[in-house]
Amino acid sequence: MARIDELRLMAKVARLYYTMHLRQTQIAEQLDISQATISRLLKRALDEQIVRINISTPTGTYSDIEADLERIYNIKEAIVVDSVDNYEQILRDIGTATAYYLEQTIKPNEVIGLSSWSKTLMAMVDAMNPLAREANIYVVQVLGGMGNPAAEQHAVHLVRRLAVLVQGKAVFLPAPGVVVSAETRNLYLQDPYVAEAIEMFKKMTLCLVGIGSVEPSDMLASSGNVFSRDELNELRQKGAVGDICMRFFDANGQPILNGLNERVIGLELEQLRRIKRSVGVAGGMHKVAAIRGAMRGGYINVLITDIQTARALVENAD
C-alpha cells in the first residue's frame, strides 16, 4: 500500500471511530478489514498525529499535578483539591474529597482502618453519603482513643459514624493511644477487646489515616494521648518530621525507633505499609515535610491533599 493510501485509510478509520462513534467491530464490518487491523490503524493514527487527543482540564482540577505526585513519589493515586489559604477550609475540602473517594471505591467485604484523632476524617464522615446496601464491611479503630472524656467521645463517634454510613460493624480499640510505659502497654494488649481490634489490623484492606507534624494537633493534645514536650524535642533531635498514628518517621520515611514507640497502642508503620490501600488524608503547608516523609517511607499509596501543599510537594521533591 502506498504511503498516501495508508494515511487515507487511517484517517477514515479514525473519523468513523472518534467522530461517528462506531465500535471497532462495526468499522471492521463496514470496511471489510479485521478488527486487529482496525486497532492497529487507530494506534498508528495517534502515532502519525492524524488524531490528537486534547484533554481540557476543568477549572479547579489538577490532573497534571496529580500525575507529577504519582510519578515522583511512586504512589498509586494522588487526589488534589482546590481550596483557599485557610486551614479549617482546607480540612473541610479534603474531607469532602475523601468522602467522594470512599463512596466511589469501597468494595464489599472491606475491612477499613480509621485513625481516631483527625479533624479531616471527621469532615469526611460529615460529607459522606450512606451506602445503599449492606456489604459486610468492618470499620476498625487503629489508634487508641481513651483519654480526656470529651475528646474520647470524638474518637468513638468517628468510628461509629463511619460504620453506620457504610452499614458495617465498628470495632473499637478500648485503650489510650499513649500509655506511661511499655509494661502498661503490654497489660492493655492482654485485654480481649484490645486484642480483637489489633488482630483485625492483619485483615485490613483499606486504611484512612491522618498525617501529623511533630507538634500535635489541638484535638490530639486535648485528648491527653501525646508525648511530653521533652519527649517531642527528643524526637525532633532524632530527625522526626511527622507521624501516623503516633509512629514517628524522619524526612526519608525511616521510622524513629526508641522507647517512646513502645508506649503506643495502635497500628505500626510496617503494618500500614502492607495494606493494599493506605490513604493519607492531610493538607496545609506546615505538613509538607511530614507528608513527603510518609510517601517516601511507603506508608501511604494514596494521597488526598490541597493544591498549595501538592505544589510544594512537587516543587521541593528533592
Domain spans of the chain, in order of start: 3-47, 63-315
Residue 1 confidence class, pLDDT cut points 50, 70, 90: very low
Distance from C-alpha of 172 to C-alpha of 188, rounded to nearest angstrom: 14
Averaged pLDDT, 166-185: 92
Strand partners, 305: 80
pTM of the prediction?
0.84
- Looking at residue 228, its amino acid is S
Q: In the chain, pLDDT over 90 holds for what percent of residues? A: 64
Per-residue pLDDT, averaged over 217-240, amounts to 76
**pLDDT, tens digit (0-9, with 9 covering 90-100), for 3-49:** 777 888 888 899 899 998 999 999 999 888 899 999 999 999 999 88
Helices 288-296, 63-73: inter-axial angle, 10-degree rounding: 50
Alpha carbons 129 and 286: distance in angstroms, whole number: 30
User: Is the model's pLDDT at 193 over the cut of 60?
Assistant: yes
Separation CA 162–CA 169 (nearest Å): 9
Query: What gap in Å lies between CA 148 and CA 13, rounded to an integer?
Result: 68
Tell me the C-alpha distance between 257 and 241, whole Å. Answer: 14
Say yes or no to pLDDT of 83 above 90. no
Q: What's the CATH number for 3-47?
A: 1.10.10.60
Provide the CATH number for the domain formed by 63-315 in this structure.
Answer: 3.40.50.1360
